[in-house]
Structure 1
Amino acid sequence: MTRAYDEVAVGDTLPELPIPLTRTSIVATAIASRDYQDVHHDPGLAVERGSRDIFMNILTTNGLVDRYVTEWAGPAAVVKAIKIRLGVPNYPGDTMVLTGTVTAKHDEDNRVEIAVRGMNGLGAHVTGTAVVRLPSKDAT
């Protein structure tokens, strides 16, 4: 079901989305995004380069933010922009919890801005903003 622009208000919160951070998911998503940097799949080399273990790549984080927003917005929503900033790494064995809040609405083109945050056991892994265009209530 697609969320309608008219049904969304500034201050609305999106439901939390916990993402288990498994070694397999970190390696598989790095490979799927064609990021073959060894810090995303080789624990020994990641440690040699100063990390405590392999860690999630930014392309995966960006994709997870997109997934989070579009699952909330629905299939008729159009993602117009995602701007993120990475913080602490996502390491295997932890969980990242994505949260979001509607921060602005633009009536002229049905755009909604959402502040997004992904927290893990070390702190904020990702912070940013997503902008989606939602259909009007009569169009859903």
Structure 2
Amino acid sequence: MTRTAQGEELAPLEIPITRTLIVSGAIASRDYQDVHHDAELARAKGSPDIFMNILTTNGLVGRYITDHFGPTAVLRKVAIRLGAPNYPGDTMVLRGTVEQVESSPEEATAVVRVVGANGIGNHVTGTVTVAVPQGPERPGTGGPA
């Protein structure tokens, strides 16, 4: 992570919000609330459609960070807050800005401010603390020893 600097902006990630993503994320996280898979019941409860659960959002934020920092990255803290719901047919764009970087001989740690926006506003905001081991690289892996 030595190339990461405070103020660096991560490349944005566009995520199409599909019914399949919403339902499969809810099932994978064992969240069987009807508002995440049954459009008719979601509408009966006042929502225009099914919507993404926070655990799916949390997983997508984690993926965004580890895609940027690499396969040895370890999420140390994820502090997110939901806002505008993610409904099917929209797109969420995740963006990140490095707020802080600390380095030791063993690992480099960064705090990244993350915002995920969709067509109606900010779906998710928060910070992620990520650590990447430092040290000599192992031959053929591109990663730390």
TM-score (ref. length: structure 2): 0.89
How big is the alpha-carbon RMSD for the aligned residues of Structure 1 and Structure 2?
Answer: 1.2
- Gap change, CA 1:71 and 1:35, over 3 Å in 2: same
Does the alignment pair 1:35 with 2:31? yes
Kindly report which structure 2 residues correspond to 1:100-139, keeping only aligned pairs within 5 A, or say none: 100-108=96-104, 110-136=108-134, 138-139=136-137
The TM-score normalised by the length of structure 1 is 0.92
Number of residues paired by the alignment? 136
Provide the rounded CA distance (Å) in 2 between the counterparts of 1:39 and 1:69.
28
1:8 aligns with 2:39: no
CA–CA distance in 2 between the matches of 1:19 and 1:77? 21
Query: Structure 1: which 5+ runs fail to align?
Result: none
Change (3 A) 1:138 1:7: farther
The residue type paired with residue 134 of structure 2 is S
| Structure 1 counterpart of 2:59, from 56, 63, 86 | 63
Match of 2:23, SS state, is helix
Aligned partner of 2:88 among 88, 92, 108: 92
Higher helix share: 1
AA at the equivalent of 1:35: D
Q: Identity of paired residues, percent?
A: 57
